[in-house]
């Protein structure tokens, strides 16, 4: 099976490579602008990597869409701070650039596995989001945060329509706050720009305050990357067509914690590491207003819990990894990779 992964050096792409290369029948063709997260796999005989940009290297991509069996376009901006600071870039990359790839999959009759997002459900008040029945609830146009959700939603609808009208073989997956090593760069140069777990770890390391936006009562269903990849591999394998033309929430309803709880569990866990303990003991938690932290174009989701019935039924998948275990894995990784620059 030839698998094309665009954005192969990303958080999901890099973890997927590690898993897929263990399967002897799989060859990977991957493009990304960087290769820092996959460098140990570059010389693998079934790994074919090229450095490039999906908005520029279009010929390579077109050729490989024709050549491969399964296409995963994983390139997207998925960081809320950018939705509000550069919404047009989010639209151009997440929607426009990906639409071209979707159309090529239709043209060449290729299987498409597309990353949607838990954000498509927006501010729905349902206690559990279901792929086929939950209404999507977004804020007004001035709340530019929703441009990401809206771009992804429209692509979901386009892909679905290509399935109905042109027989496109697709699977759509919706990650719910996947966390783990390699999520964002821990020492990101741009302050306050990472997703929450990386941001909090980075705050502790840099002796900064942990900021709870609007009090931190809002909840997320944190999902370990290994559980997420387990689901994704089942979708790629597509046993007896179980994933074809289906949408899957991939999230862990048992890890539905508030951001305030995340901060507390993280600080408690850090105290078990001699390297982090002192820094964690000294960390101050403060409450900030979203308006001050993200600006006026931000709006938040209070609760976001997936129904995972579809994934359980069709993929035989259930998440197994609890929040604490996931934090330990993430911290172990950062400790072994970054301590030299943080001491
Ligand atoms: C994320 C991103 O949009 C995507 O990565 C993804 O598609 C989707 O949701 C997902 O992974 O399911 P969000 O959950 O808001 O959105 O991402 P974070 O930036 O990690 O924020 C989580 C919560 O923590 C938000 O309520 C935010 O306001 C809060 N936060 C963030 C803080 O309280 N303090 C911080 O320093 C950073």
Closest Cα to residue 121, out of 258, 301, 254, 257?
301
- Expressed in angstroms and rounded, the spacing between residue 122 Cα and the centre of ligand 1 is 12
Domains with residue ranges and CATH for the chain: 76-180+223-254+304-320 (3.40.50.720)
Give me the phi and psi of 32, to 5 degrees please: -160, 165
Look up tokens 């932290």; give the residue: 293
35 pLDDT band, cuts 50/70/90, is very high
DSSP string, 193-253: -S-HHHHHHHHHHTT--EEEETTS--EEE-EEHHHHHHHHHHHHH-GGGTTTTEEEEE--G
335 pLDDT band, cuts 50/70/90, is confident
Known catalytic residue: 46?
A: no
- Expressed in angstroms and rounded, the spacing between residue 219 Cα and the centre of ligand 1 is 10
Dihedral sign for Cα 208, 210, 215, 218, please: positive
Question: pTM of whole model > 0.85?
Answer: yes
Q: In terms of residues, how long is the chain? A: 343
DSSP 283: P
**pLDDT tens figures, 96-153:** 999 999 999 999 999 999 999 999 999 999 999 999 999 999 999 999 999 999 999 9
Hey, whose CA ends up nearest to atom 14 of ligand 1?
Answer: 177
CA 294 to ligand 1: nearest atom: 28
Q: Is the CB of 30 under 6 A from ligand 1?
A: no
**pLDDT tens figures, 175-188:** 999 999 988 887 76
User: Of all residues in the chain, what percent carry a pLDDT higher than 70?
Assistant: 97
**pLDDT tens figures, 195-218:** 999 999 999 999 999 999 999 999
- Expressed in angstroms and rounded, the spacing between residue 169 Cα and the centre of ligand 1 is 31
For the beta carbon of residue 306, count every other beta carbon within 10 angstroms: 28
């Amino acid at each position: 099976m030839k698998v094309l992964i665009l954005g192969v050096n990303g958080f999901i792409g890099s973890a997927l490579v590690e898993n897929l290369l263990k399967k002897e029948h799989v060859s990977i063709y991957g493009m990304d602008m960087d290769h820092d997260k996959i460098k140990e796999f570059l010389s693998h005989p079934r790994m074919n990597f090229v450095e490039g940009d999906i908005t520029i290297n279009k010929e390579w991509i077109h050729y490989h869409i024709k050549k491969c069996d399964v296409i995963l376009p994983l390139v997207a901006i998925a960081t809320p701070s950018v939705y509000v600071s550069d919404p047009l870039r989010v639209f151009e990359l997440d929607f426009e650039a990906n639409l071209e790839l979707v159309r090529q999959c239709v043209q060449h009759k290729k299987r498409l596995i597309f990353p949607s997002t838990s954000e498509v459900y927006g501010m729905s008040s349902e206690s559990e989001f279901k792929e086929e029945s939950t209404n999507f609830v977004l804020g007004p146009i001035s709340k530019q945060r929703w441009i990401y959700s809206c771009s992804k939603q429209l692509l979901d609808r386009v892909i679905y329509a290509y399935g109905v009208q042109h027989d496109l073989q697709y699977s759509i997956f919706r990650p719910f706050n996947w966390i783990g090593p390699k999520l964002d760069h821990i020492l990101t140069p741009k302050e306050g720009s990472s997703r929450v777990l990386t941001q909090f770890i980075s705050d502790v390391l840099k002796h900064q305050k942990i900021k709870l936006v609007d009090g931190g009562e809002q909840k997320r269903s944190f999902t370990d990357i290994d559980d997420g990849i387990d689901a994704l591999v089942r979708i790629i394998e597509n046993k007896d067509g179980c994933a074809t033309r289906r949408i899957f929430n991939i999230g862990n309803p048992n890890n539905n914690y508030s951001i305030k709880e995340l901060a507390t569990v993280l600080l408690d866990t850090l105290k078990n590491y001699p390297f982090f303990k002192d820094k964690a003991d000294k960390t101050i938690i403060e409450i900030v207003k979203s308006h001050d932290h993200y600006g006026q174009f931000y709006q938040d989701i209070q609760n976001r819990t997936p129904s995972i019935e579809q994934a359980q039924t069709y993929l035989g998948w259930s998440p197994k990894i609890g929040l604490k275990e996931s934090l330990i894995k993430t911290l172990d990784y950062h400790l072994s990779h970054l301590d030299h620059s943080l001491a």
